[in-house]
Structure 1
Amino acid sequence: MEPWTKPVALEGKLVKLIPLDLSHQNDLLNAASDGNLWELWFTSVPSAATISKYLNSAFENQQKGLALPFTIIDKKTNKIVGSTRYLNIEAENRRLEIGATWYAKSVQRTGINTECKYLLLQHAFETLGCIAVEFRTHYHNLASRNAILRLGAKQEGILRNHRIDPQGNYRDTVVFSILDNEWKTVKASLEYRMNKSY
């Protein structure tokens, strides 16, 4: 089995997911500025003040074998429109999390998120051989929770007081998952949705 943190590019009809690189810094900031996404208190979208820390953390976790970060490119405009990654990789247990995902406001609700998740799930289950893929989000991030449910993931539970944010607020984290024996049905549902939107 190939190393789970080996950089890979994934491509669909709407998007390309390419390995995150330091050279993407300015374009990522431009994408995050589309909607001032860092102002959402329950997310961790990078701003000019935090982009260096954001990138360094992604690369450090990749070096440790815990993450595989991607930059998202809108194929229609060939512009960087966000970022996502595999997180909390446990190759020995054949599971990982898809998270740290954000998109420029102008491409939200355009089908890009659905295709990104489809590509990541397909690679996780069909190439890496995952037995479970997790999604985690802030309890107060209702848009994210609903988007995860629409993918076909099932809610497992809520981790109460799971994190303390930079302002000292306690975060309750909602945990969802898709299992390998559910992927065939989830895949068919996602393909149906994507084909209707193309």
Structure 2
Amino acid sequence: MELIAPVMLENAHVRLEPLSPDHADELALAAEGLEYAWYTAIPRPDEIGAEIAHRLDLRDRGVMNPWAIRSVRTGRAVGMTTFCGIDQPNRHVEVGYTWLARSAQGTEVNPAVKLAVLGHAFEACDTIAVELRTHWHNHQSRAAIARLGAKQDGVLRSHRIGPDGTLRDTVVFSIIAAEWPTVRTGLTERLRRF
């Protein structure tokens, strides 16, 4: 299967639905109260419609595959995630542009999302490497990525200019196909605790 193919992904904890404008109202509610995260690009509630349109445009151009994240426990859409940096010929992809409502942070949602998207990448799409990136100052995200079992590949210094003009150092992690069985077991065991 191609990395760009729209597909619903689900497990006992989350359902990842191909992103659509129909998710706008729920995602606007989910984005409330996330202004504290200066080091990441989470859309404000009034920007959700434009963000969905932007991600769908990138999907139509073949460079992003976006999903809305729905919690099975609450039934609500609680964030977004994507395949981005899609390199189908080299079977390489990045999982990114992920954000979660405050109510979903620290719950089963993030490990369940990663289990779904990584499983799809490695098992259905025969990917050989999945990359995850985050801001140097996003310690919460860095810790979560490391808990997955991803290895830190390095830091891209002064990699991007933020909306406020600050320079972003980007921390790059990856999981390769040979590591996926161990990562999958770790995620499965973590989810048993919820």
TM-score, length-normalised on structure 1? Answer: 0.94
In the comparison of the two structures, how many residue pairs are matched?
A: 194
Which residue in 2 is equivalent to 1:3? 2
Q: Distance in 1 between matches of 2:152 and 2:82?
A: 20
Check conservation: 1:4, 1:65, Cα contact below 8 A: no
Question: RMSD value over aligned CA atoms?
Answer: 1.1
Q: Distance in 2 between matches of 1:102 and 1:9?
A: 18
C-alpha deviations, 1:25-51, integer Å up to 9, x for none?
A: 111010011xx1133111111114432
Please report how far the alpha carbon of residue 132 of structure 1 lies from its aligned counterpart in structure 2 after TM superposition. Answer: 0.2
Indicate the SS of the match to 1:38.
Answer: coil
Which residue in 1 is equivalent to 2:190? 193
Q: Distance in 2 between matches of 1:184 and 1:48?
A: 37
Which residue in 2 is equivalent to 1:129? 126
Check conservation: 2:31, 2:45, Cα contact below 8 A: no
Please report how far the alpha carbon of residue 65 of structure 1 lies from its aligned counterpart in structure 2 after TM superposition. Answer: 1.1
Structure 2 unmatched ranges of 5 or more: none
Which residue in 1 is equivalent to 2:116? 119
Indicate the SS of the match to 1:39.
Answer: coil
C-alpha deviations, 1:40-78, integer Å up to 9, x for none?
A: 111111114432332222112111111110001111221
Structure 1 unmatched ranges of 5 or more: none
Q: Distance in 1 between matches of 2:113 and 2:58?
A: 21
Q: Distance in 2 between matches of 1:3 and 1:145?
A: 28
Which residue in 1 is equivalent to 2:106? 109
Q: Distance in 2 between matches of 1:154 and 1:77?
A: 32
After TM superposition, list the pairs within 5 Å mapping 1:47-58 onto structure 2.
47-58=44-55
Check conservation: 1:72, 1:81, Cα contact below 8 A: yes
One-letter code aligned to 1:4: L
Q: Distance in 2 between matches of 1:137 and 1:59?
A: 22
Which residue in 2 is equivalent to 1:29? 28
Please report how far the alpha carbon of residue 6 of structure 1 lies from its aligned counterpart in structure 2 after TM superposition. Answer: 1.4
Indicate the SS of the match to 1:113.
Answer: helix
Indicate the SS of the match to 1:50.
Answer: helix
Check conservation: 1:38, 1:44, Cα contact below 8 A: no
One-letter code aligned to 2:14: V
C-alpha deviations, 1:3-41, integer Å up to 9, x for none?
A: 3211101111111110000111111010011xx113311
Q: Distance in 2 between matches of 1:115 and 1:136?
A: 18
Check conservation: 1:9, 1:17, Cα contact below 8 A: yes
Which residue in 1 is equivalent to 2:12? 13
Please report how far the alpha carbon of residue 153 of structure 1 lies from its aligned counterpart in structure 2 after TM superposition. Answer: 0.1
Is 1:177–2:174 an aligned residue pair? yes
